[in-house]
Amino acid sequence: MSASEFWNQKYQTDEYIFGKAPNDFIKAVTPLASAQETAYAPADGEGRNGVFLAHMGYQVTSSDIAELAVAKARALAAEKNLSVNALVADCLNPPFADNSFDLVAVCFMHFRYEDNVLFMEANKRLLKPGGLFILEGYTRDQIPCNSGGPKNPDMMLSAEGLCQTFSGYDIQLLQEVRRNLNEGPRHQGMAATVQLLAKKPI
């Protein structure tokens, strides 16, 4: 089964399986946009974070590999009367030029090691110099929890690993935390996460 087939099966419901509200961490650290600032939400699923970024004033591109997710993202943007460029795209090979976005927001995206390297490098390239990279993901301590995420320890993130990945960036916040998730039916309960806010060097 391909990744798009897997996720289309998950999204084959009228319910928003991760809710309509943005991720709490992304909501807490995202600044209001200045004029014409752009934001990218890769693998944005049903669009909750992309729609929030539009609410904050950004010109938003939201992508996902699942057609059903993108359709729901477009519907959510219309419901909120906001403009979001929601499109079907592979987040490991995004169809955008380098230095395209002022902000990149990543929420609970987990891959095997080789694909994670591709994902991170692709999104770092897309970020403009001086731009903000926001990320929340699960750590290995999440594995015994029932609030979402994969069970493969090699797919989990860590503060140490992100510090290496974002070497040279101005890391404004990097912490591993335990917190309660309330993000639709798929993300409920206590979770172990890592949170990153980093500025790309100019």
Upper half-sphere CA count for residue 152 (Cβ side, 13 Å): 6
Per-residue pLDDT band at 163 (split at 50, 70, 90): very high
Confidence (pLDDT) at 179: 96
Phi, psi angles (nearest 5°) of residue 91: -70, -10
Q: Kindly tell me if the per-residue pLDDT of 199 is higher than 80.
A: yes
Question: What is the distance between the alpha carbons of residues 93 and 191, in angstroms, rounded to a whole number?
Answer: 29
For range 13-20, the mean pLDDT: 91
**Percent with pLDDT over 90 in the chain:** 87
pTM of the predicted structure, to 2 decimals: 0.95
Q: Kindly tell me if the per-residue pLDDT of 7 is higher than 80.
A: no
Q: Indicate the burial class of 179 (C-beta count within 10 angstroms; 0-12, 13-18, 19 or more).
A: middle
Own/partner contacts of 118-123, CB < 8 Å, gap of 24 or more, are: 118/92, 118/93, 119/42, 119/91, 119/92, 120/165, 122/91, 122/92, 122/93, 122/94, 123/40, 123/42, 123/91, 123/94
Question: What is the distance between the alpha carbons of residues 35 and 10, in angstroms, rounded to a whole number?
Answer: 36
- 148 vs 171, more confident: 171
In CATH terms, the fold of domain 3-199 is Rossmann fold (3.40.50)
Closest CA to 108 of 70, 149, 142, 48: 149
Question: What is the distance between the alpha carbons of residues 36 and 19, in angstroms, rounded to a whole number?
Answer: 28
Cβ atoms of residues 162 and 196 within 8 Å = yes
Confidence (pLDDT) at 153: 95
Extract the tokens encoding 88: 């079907």
Question: What is the distance between the alpha carbons of residues 46 and 162, in angstroms, rounded to a whole number?
Answer: 26
Q: How many residues comprise the chain?
A: 202
Q: Kindly tell me if the per-residue pLDDT of 185 is higher than 80.
A: no
Q: Kindly tell me if the per-residue pLDDT of 86 is higher than 90.
A: yes
Average pLDDT of the residues of the chain:
95
For range 122-138, the mean pLDDT: 98
Confidence (pLDDT) at 62: 98
Tokens 């999440």 label which residue?
Answer: 142
Confidence (pLDDT) at 10: 80
Q: Indicate the burial class of 62 (C-beta count within 10 angstroms; 0-12, 13-18, 19 or more).
A: buried
Confidence (pLDDT) at 102: 98
For range 46-60, the mean pLDDT: 98
For range 56-71, the mean pLDDT: 96
For range 159-185, the mean pLDDT: 95
For range 140-151, the mean pLDDT: 94
For range 76-95, the mean pLDDT: 96
Distance of CA 139 to the CA centre of its chain: 15
